[in-house]
Amino acid sequence: MKLKFRDKVILVTGASRGIGAAIAKAFAAEGGLIIVNYRTSEAAALSVVDACRKAGGEAIAIAADVTDSQAVAAMAERIGQDIGRLDVVVNNAFAPYRFDPEQRQRFPEISWGAYRAQFDGAVGAAYAVCRAMLPLLDRGQGASIVNIVSDLVAQPSIPYHDYTTAKAALIGFSRNLAGELGPQGIRVNCVAPGLVHPTDSSAATKEDVRETLIAQTPLRRLATPNDVAGAVLFLASEWSGFVTGQTLHVDGGLVME
Say what the alpha-carbon torsion angle 78, 5, 185, 65 is, to the nearest 10 degrees: -30
Task: Give me the helix-helix angle, 69-82 and 125-133, nearest 10°.
Answer: 30
**How far is CA 13 from each of CA 61, 106, 198, 244, rounded to the nearest angstrom?**
10, 30, 19, 20
Establish whether 115 is a catalytic residue.
Answer: no
Q: What order of strands is seen across the sheet that includes strand 247-250?
A: 58-63, 33-38, 9-12, 88-91, 144-148, 187-193, 247-250
**pLDDT tens digits, one per residue of 203-249:** 667 788 889 888 998 999 999 999 999 999 999 999 999 999 999 99
Q: What's the pLDDT score for residue 49? A: 98
Q: What's the pLDDT score for residue 198? A: 77
How many Å apart are CA 82 and CA 11, to the nearest integer?
A: 13
Classify 96 as helix, strand or coil: coil
Q: What's the pLDDT score for residue 104? A: 87
- Domain residues of the chain, as ranges? 9-250
Domain boundaries 9-250, CATH class? alpha beta
Q: What's the pLDDT score for residue 215? A: 93
Tell me whether the omega of the peptide bond preceding residue 198 falls within 30 degrees of 0, making it cis.
Answer: yes
How many Å apart are CA 54 and CA 38, to the nearest integer?
A: 20
| List of the chain residues with pLDDT < 50 | 1
How many Å apart are CA 55 and CA 57, to the nearest integer?
A: 6
Q: Pairing relation of β-strands 58-63 and 88-91? A: unpaired
Q: Which of 38, 97, 160, 163 is catalytic?
A: 163
Spatial neighbors of 146 by CB under 8 A, at least 6 apart, are 88, 89, 90, 91, 188, 189, 190, 191, 232, 235, 236
Cut 0.85: pTM above it: yes
Q: What's the pLDDT score for residue 101? A: 79
Q: What's the pLDDT score for residue 1? A: 46
